[in-house]
Amino acid sequence: MLNRLLRTSWTKAMTPIAKAFLAIGLTPDVVTVVGTLGVCFGALAFYPRGEFLVGTLVITAFVFSDNVDGVMARLSGRQGVWGAFLDSTLDRVADAAIFGGLVLYFAGPGANLLQAGLALSCLILGMVVSYAKARAEGLGMTCNVGIAERADRLLAVLLATGLVGFGLPVVVLTVVLALLALASLVTVIQRMATVHAQARAAQC
């Protein structure tokens, strides 16, 4: 949902930055890798210690590269299978680092197994959401449905985590993680239903 709403305006905003990166010799692949490493650093260096605000600021700064690399690829004519594969694969790494950092905190210093379980559920279900789409496309079907796409999940968890780091009670993050886990589960079911309908139609 958020992807579709922001794609055009966000691309326009990122275009000057993409042009600047290309002008100094950076490639889309380099930006993709550096962005993922930055997200992983922010999530795994700060979240497990409960430094939610700093971690979120670092992650947010590097999450922008997820949009910049695509704009760079279009501007430089380097769009291709490898770039798309690299971007999608490293997106999963970044997502796992964010929710994994929360799991480490709540399973350790945060000492809250409910929140640890919710963060772990978000991590697992988020991976299944992405896998369902990739597998469907690999079988020649489409699967662009769901109430909790990647951009929606990232915005929700980063906003909630940052606000908790800013001083809001941790129950805010608990509620958001629970809603994200539920929304991700619903999205998995939606995608399975969509593929099932296409598979049955193909047999008729």
The residues that are catalytic are 91
H or E stretch including 26? none
Is the alpha carbon torsion for 75, 76, 77, 79 positive or negative?
negative
Contact 122, 180 (CB under 8 A): yes
Selection from 165, 78, 174 nearest residue 117 by Cα: 174
Measured between alpha carbons, how far is 196 from 204 in angstroms, rounded to an integer?
13
Contacts of 156 (CB under 8 A, 6+ apart): 176, 179, 180
Measured between alpha carbons, how far is 197 from 204 in angstroms, rounded to an integer?
11
Measured between alpha carbons, how far is 121 from 105 in angstroms, rounded to an integer?
15
Contacts of 73 (CB under 8 A, 6+ apart): 28, 79, 80, 83
Q: Angle formed by the axes of helices 171-203 and 150-166, to 10°?
A: 180
Measured between alpha carbons, how far is 3 from 25 in angstroms, rounded to an integer?
28
